Amino acid sequence: MGIIYRVNMSDLTARAEPIEGSAYEALGGRGLTSALVAAEVPPQCHALSAANKLVIAPGLLTGTGAPCAGRLSVGGKSPLTGTIKESNAGGMAALALAVLGIKAVVLEGAPQDRRLHRIAVDRQGVRIEPADELAGLGNYETVARQVGQFGDKAAYVSIGQAGEMRAAAASVAVTDVDSRPTRHCGRGGMGAVMGSKGVKLIVVDPAGGQRIQLADPDAFRRAVRRFADALGRHPLTGQTLPKYGTNILANVINEAGAYPTRNFSQGQFEGTEAISGERQHDTILARGGVIAHGCHRGCTIRCSRIYVDDQGNYVTKGPEYETVWAHGANCGISDLDAIARMDRMDDDFGLDTIETGATLAVAMEAGIIPFGDAQGAIRLLEEVAKGTPLGRLVASGAAVLGKTYGVSRVPTVKGQSLPAYDPRAVQGIGVTYATSTMGADHTAGYAITANVLGVGGRVDPLRPEGQVALSRNLQIATAAVDAAGLCLFVAFCLLDDPAALEAVCEMFSALLGRPFTGDDFVALGKRILTDERRFNAAAGFTAADDRLPDFFKTEKLAPHQITFAVPDEELDTLFNFAE
Amino acid sequence: MGIIYRVNMSDLTARAEPIEGSAYEALGGRGLTSALVAAEVPPQCHALSAANKLVIAPGLLTGTGAPCAGRLSVGGKSPLTGTIKESNAGGMAALALAVLGIKAVVLEGAPQDRRLHRIAVDRQGVRIEPADELAGLGNYETVARQVGQFGDKAAYVSIGQAGEMRAAAASVAVTDVDSRPTRHCGRGGMGAVMGSKGVKLIVVDPAGGQRIQLADPDAFRRAVRRFADALGRHPLTGQTLPKYGTNILANVINEAGAYPTRNFSQGQFEGTEAISGERQHDTILARGGVIAHGCHRGCTIRCSRIYVDDQGNYVTKGPEYETVWAHGANCGISDLDAIARMDRMDDDFGLDTIETGATLAVAMEAGIIPFGDAQGAIRLLEEVAKGTPLGRLVASGAAVLGKTYGVSRVPTVKGQSLPAYDPRAVQGIGVTYATSTMGADHTAGYAITANVLGVGGRVDPLRPEGQVALSRNLQIATAAVDAAGLCLFVAFCLLDDPAALEAVCEMFSALLGRPFTGDDFVALGKRILTDERRFNAAAGFTAADDRLPDFFKTEKLAPHQITFAVPDEELDTLFNFAE
C-alpha cells in the first residue's frame, strides 16, 4: 500500500505506480532514493540532463506517529560531486506525502525549454501546472504567493534563484511548521537537478490523508512510547538540543581545537564566544524570539528556534551549528546578526549553507574579499540572486570557485566542501569525509560522537587508531536511520541506550508485520551503502577519490599541531563488510 | 651528455644534474616529461601545489639538425584535467635549450608569496631573478621588454595574465623566429602550473651552444637528407601545408560533415568559405602578409604564416585550423578578422585557443551572448585580461564555465574541450578523444588521417569498425614522435612513406650509436603511454573517464544523422598492448 508518482517533465505527464510488488517495496527515505537512483539513473549521465532523476521520498517511519521521523529524502545524481546523492531535511513535506500514501515523487526527463512548473500533489493525484510567474523569486516569496491558494496546512518544496540557475550548491527547500522555507536538503546541488527538470515548487496538500497503516498498532504504540522516553532521558536530545540548539557545539568543538577557522587554517577561533549557541540562546530570548521549536510536527527534540532582530522581527530560523561555523569562524566572522542575515539569504536563494560558507572562505583565501569582512560576504551572497558571474561562482561551490581563482587550499572531497569539524583534530570525521559515498559529509558517519562527545564510547580524536571501524559502523547505522526518516539526532540515543535501538526495531516490526532485529537494521544500512558504492564505481569513482585534500596531510593544525594520519590503506578497508 | 636543471621555487635555488646514469637517460620531449612526472609527482596532489612539477624539455632529436624537430614539451599534472599532461609547441626555445646541452628544466616547489620571477638560462647556468615589474602584462609586452636586454637570438618561454591567475586554460607561450610569443603549449593549463611556481618567463640564450653530439654524424646526415626528401615529396607536407597552412582543413572537414558548429550542434557551417584556409591565403597575400613561414629554424614544412590587417600591419600569426574553428564555426562566427583578433588576444593573455573557443561556445549555449556575436566574444575575452569573475571563468575552460552556468551540453573529456572534429562524423578521432591520457586531444592520435585524408590507409569515418585499432596505433606512434621533438605533421609522411620512418629510425641510431628499429619506435611510444596511464590510474581515472559526453551518443549530428557508436567495451581495449 503506497504509490510512487512518476512525473515526466519531458512530456508533462504523471502516472501512479504501486510500490507493492515493485523492487522498491518496504523501502523509504534514503533506502528508496538510493535504490531507485542506482537502478534507473545511468551513472555517467550529466546530472543536469534528462537522464537524471530526482527522487523525493519520506522515510519508512514517516506518518506512523513515530517521534522525530519527519525527514524528507531527496536523491539523484549530484551535479556538485558526480556521485549518487541523498540529502534530507525536516519540515512538513515528508509527513504530508506519507499520509497521502505517497512513497516517492520521481521527477524524470526534462523540458526542452526553460519554462517553470508547479507540481500540485493532493489526494486526487498530481497536477503539473505552469509557474513562469515565479521565475527569479526566492523561496520565501515563492511560498508566500502559494499559501493564499493552498493554505498553511500544505507543505511546500521549492527552489530559489540558485536552483533555477542550476547552480551546484543549490538546495531544495522544505517549509517548516510555520510555512517558512527554512529546512533544506542542502548538500550536493539537488536544487539544481530540480531546476533542470523545470520544477519551481511542489505543493503537497495532506487534506484527507491518514496515518500509515500498521501491521500491529498496539505494539507500535508501545514502541513509540519507549522510544520517546529514551529520547527524553538522553541529556543531548532531552535537554541540551532543545535548550541551545545545534550551535551548542561551537564552544565544544572550539575547545577540542577542531573548529575550522579561516578556511581550515587553524583549529580555534578567537570569536567563538560571540557566535556560540549559548550567546544565540541569550540573544533570542532577550529579543523575544523562540527556542525549542520543532521543525515538523511529531518532533520531541525541538532543536529549531526562531531568530529575530533587535526589534523583535523575524529574520530566519535559528542558524544551525554548521551554518554559524561556515559563515562565521570559517570566514573569520564573529557577528551573529550578519550570520543570521546570510542564513536567511541562503534559505531564500536556495543554497546549501555549508557549501556557501565554505565557498565564501575560499573566496577570501583567493583574495576577493578579506577574511572577517562580514559586509563583503553579504555583498558576495547578494550577487547570487542577481545571477552575475561572481554570484554564479559563489553558488557553484568551493571547488569550482577555487579552480576558477587558482586556489590550491580547497577543502573538498569529491567536490563537496568539508563541514564544521577539522579532520586533523577529529580524525574519525576525516575518515567519514574521505570515504562517504556522498562526498565530504559529517552526517554520513558522525564520528564526533565517540571522538568528542563521549557518545557511543570513546575513541581518541587525535590518533588514527580505531577511526575506520568507528566511521564504518556509523555510516552503516546512519544509512538505516536515513531510510527510516528519523532525524539523525536520535542516533545519540541509539548509540548510548540499548532500549532506544530496540524500540526502533520494534517500530519496524510492528509496521511491517514481521520480526525486525538490530541485525536487520545493520543489514539495511549495508544494503544502502552497497547500492551507493556500486553507482559511484560505475560513475568512475575509485579509492583515489576517497581521500582528503593533500594539505590536511601536510599542514599542521594549531593548537594540536597535528596532521591527518589515517593511512590510505586503512581508508580503503572502510567498505569491507559482508552485506 | 646533457643536464637537467632543477629549479626549486620554494627556496629559489637551482642545481644541475647530469642526465647520464639517471633514469631519464636517452629520453627527450614527452618521453622525458612523462617519465619524470610519473616518477616524481604525487598523482593525487593539487596541480597548483608545491608538489607538482613543471618539466620543460626539448625533443630527443632537437638540436641535431633533423628537420622539423624543434618541438618543446611541457609536462606536469594538469590543473584542467587532473591527468598527467604533455603539451608541445614549436618556436625557438627547444633548439636553444638543446644546443646548451639542457635536456630539461624542471620547476619544483612553489613560493610562499605571489611574487614573480624570471629564470635566465645560458651557457653559464641558471639565474632566478625577481620579475614583479612584469605582473599583469600579456605575453607580447612581457617579451618585448626583455628583447632589449637578451636580444633576438634568445628564446622566451612565458605566461600571460591567464597563467598568472593560475587559470586552467592558461598556456605556456614560446617565441617564434621573430621573437613573437605565437607558439603555445596550449592544452591542459600548463601556464597555470608555471604561474603557481611564480615564474613569469624563462629566457634561454643559446649563445655559445653547439649542435648535439652524434654517434655517427655521416649516417645522421644521410638520414636527414632522406627524411627531408620524403617530407618534400608528400603532397601534404611538401605542398598543401606550406601553401595554405593548417586551415586548409576547414573546407575538407566541413565537406565531411564533421566541422563542429555552434557548440557541436551541427556538422557543417554555412560560413566555412569565409574562414577557410584558401580565403585566409588570399587575404594574407592581398594584404602583404606572409605565407610559408617556419615557426622555428630547421622547419621544412613552414605551415606558419603572418596575418596582417587591411593596412598591412601585423596582427598575429596566421590563425591555425583549430583556432579558426574554435572561435569561428563553433561560435557561429564567420569573420576572419575577428577570429585573428581573438587569436592575438589568446596568445597575448596566454590562453589555449581550443579551450578558449570551446568555452566561448559554451558561454553562447548558456545564453551569456548569442551564437555568432563576434564583438560579444571579443568583449568576453577582454574580461580575461581584466581578471573579472567572468574573465576568470572564460580562462577556466568549458567544463567549469558550463558547470557554473548549469549547461548540460559541454563537449569535454576529462575536463578538456574537444577539438575541431565532431566525433560522430569521424568516429576514429572520437576514440582518441575518449581514451587519450591527456583528455580530449586530437594530436594524441590523429585519426583524421585514415578517416578523412586517406593517409595511412582508409577507415570509414562513419562506422565504429576499426577505429580502436586505428587510434591505438596512432597514439603509440604519436607518443614516440612527441618524444623525438618532431612536429606531428611529419606523421603524414611517416604513415604513407616507409622511407620516412626508416630515415627517422636511422637518425635515432646515428644519434644514440646503437641500432634503432621501427619496433624500437613503437616500444618507445608504448612505454610513454604506459607511464601516463599508470599516473592517471593512481590519480583516480578509470574506464568510466574514457568516455565521450552522453550527448554524442544520443543527439544525431547533421548532415549524416549519426551518433557516436564505438562500444564502451571496445574503447576499454585501447591500451591492451604488450609493452
pLDDT of B80-96, one tens digit each? Answer: 999 999 999 999 999 99
Residue whose C-alpha is closest to residue B419's, from B361, B476, B459: B361
* Average pLDDT of the segment spanning B30-56: 97
Compute the C-alpha angle B299/B302/B308, nearest 5°. 135
* Average pLDDT of the segment spanning B542-569: 97
- State the Cα torsion B112-B170-B69-B77 to the nearest 10°: 60
Candidates A45, A405, A549; nearest CB to B392: A405
Are B44 and A404 an interchain contact pair (Cβ–Cβ within 8 Å)?
Answer: no
Residues paired with B87 in a beta bridge: B74
> Has residue B1 got a pLDDT over 80?
no
> Has residue B56 got a pLDDT over 70?
yes
Which residues of B fall below an 8 Å CB-CB distance to A? Answer: 42-46, 48-49, 51, 79, 165-168, 192, 195-196, 388-390, 392-393, 396, 400, 403-408, 410, 538-545, 547, 549-551
Q: How many CB atoms lie within 10 A of CB B388?
A: 15
Candidates B406, B410, B539; nearest CB to A196: B406
Candidates B389, B390, B545; nearest CB to A540: B545
> Which residues in chain A have Cβ-Cβ distances shorter than 8 Å to B410?
46
Residue type, A161: Q
> Has residue B579 got a pLDDT over 80?
no
Q: What is the pLDDT of residue A558?
A: 97
CB–CB contacts below 8 A, A to B:
103
From residue A211, how far is each of A63, A65, A205, B124 by CA, in Å?
5, 7, 14, 86
Q: What is the pLDDT of residue A579?
A: 63
Are A400 and B405 an interchain contact pair (Cβ–Cβ within 8 Å)?
Answer: no
Q: B130 to chain A, minimum CA–CA distance in Å?
A: 21
If you write DSSP's letter for every residue of A214-248 in order, what string do you get? -S-HHHHHHHHHHHHHHHHHSHIIIIIHHHH-GGG
Q: How far apart are CA B208 and CA B50, in angstroms?
A: 34
For chain A, the maximum distance between any two Cα atoms, rounded to a whole number of angstroms, is: 62
Candidates A42, A79, A542; nearest CB to B540: A542
* Average pLDDT of the segment spanning B308-320: 97
Are A196 and B547 an interchain contact pair (Cβ–Cβ within 8 Å)?
Answer: no
> Has residue B520 got a pLDDT over 80?
yes
User: What is the sign of the dihedral through the CA atoms of A217, A218, A220 and A225?
Assistant: positive
Predicted confidence band of residue B380 (pLDDT cuts 50, 70, 90): very high
pLDDT of B152-173, one tens digit each? Answer: 999 999 999 999 999 999 999 9
> Which residues in chain A have Cβ-Cβ distances shorter than 8 Å to B571?
none
Q: What is the pLDDT of residue B352?
A: 98
> Which residues in chain A have Cβ-Cβ distances shorter than 8 Å to B48?
406-408
Q: What is the pLDDT of residue A578?
A: 73
Burial of A149 (0-12, 13-18, 19+ CB in 10 A): exposed
Question: Would you state the cell numbers that stand for residue A409, as one nine-digit string?
Answer: 587550499
Report the DSSP pairing between strands B117-122 and B172-174: unpaired
Which residues of A fall below an 8 Å CB-CB distance to B? Answer: 42-46, 48-49, 51, 79, 165-168, 192, 195-196, 388-390, 392-393, 396, 400, 403-408, 410, 538-545, 547, 549-551
Q: Nearest chain A residue to B166 by CA: give it.
A: A406
Candidates B390, B404, B538; nearest CB to A396: B404
* Average pLDDT of the segment spanning B51-56: 98
A445, A459 Cβ separation under 8 angstroms: no
Residue A173 sits at φ, ψ, to 5 deg, of -90, 145
Q: How far apart are CA A122 and CA A189, in angstroms?
A: 27
Alpha helical stretches, state H, A366-516: 374-386, 389-394, 398-404, 427-435, 448, 467-484, 490-496, 498-512
Average pLDDT score, chain B: 97
Candidates B400, B405, B540; nearest CB to A403: B400
Buried b (16+ CB within 10 A) or exposed e, B27-51: bbbbbbbbbbbbeebebbbbbbbbb
> Which residues in chain B have Cβ-Cβ distances shorter than 8 Å to A48?
406-408
Q: How far apart are CA B433 and CA B508, in angstroms?
A: 30
> Helix axis angle, B217-233 relative to B498-512, nearest 10°?
160
If you write DSSP's letter for every residue of B243-261 in order, what string do you get? HH-GGGHHHHHHHTT---B
Candidates A48, A540, A543; nearest CB to B544: A540
Candidates B49, B408, B539; nearest CB to A550: B49
Strand (E) or helix (H) holding A60: none
If you write DSSP's letter for every residue of A34-54 in order, what string do you get? HHHHHHHS-TTS-TTSTT--E
pTM of the full structure: 0.95
B131, B214 Cβ separation under 8 angstroms: no
> Has residue B357 got a pLDDT over 80?
yes
> Which residues in chain B have Cβ-Cβ distances shorter than 8 Å to A389?
388-390, 393, 404
From residue A300, how far is each of A223, A501, B353, B535 by CA, in Å?
15, 17, 60, 53
The three-state secondary structure class of A527 is: helix
> Which residues in chain A have Cβ-Cβ distances shorter than 8 Å to B396?
403-404
> Which residues in chain B have Cβ-Cβ distances shorter than 8 Å to A168?
403
If you write DSSP's letter for every residue of B341-363 in order, what string do you get? HHHHHHHHHTB-HHHHHHHHHHH
SS percent in chain B: helix, strand, coil, step 5:
40, 15, 40
> Which residues in chain A have Cβ-Cβ distances shorter than 8 Å to B81?
none
Query: Which parts of chain A register pLDDT below 70?
Result: 579
Q: What is the pLDDT of residue B314?
A: 98
Q: What is the percentage of chain B residues whose pLDDT exceeds 70? A: 100
> Has residue B139 got a pLDDT over 80?
yes
Interface test with B, best of A408, A413, A552 (most B CBs within 10 A): A408
Residue B506 sits at φ, ψ, to 5 deg, of -65, -35
Q: How far apart are CA B463 and CA B329, in angstroms?
A: 24
Burial of B297 (0-12, 13-18, 19+ CB in 10 A): exposed
Q: What is the pLDDT of residue B578?
A: 74
* Average pLDDT of the segment spanning B296-312: 95
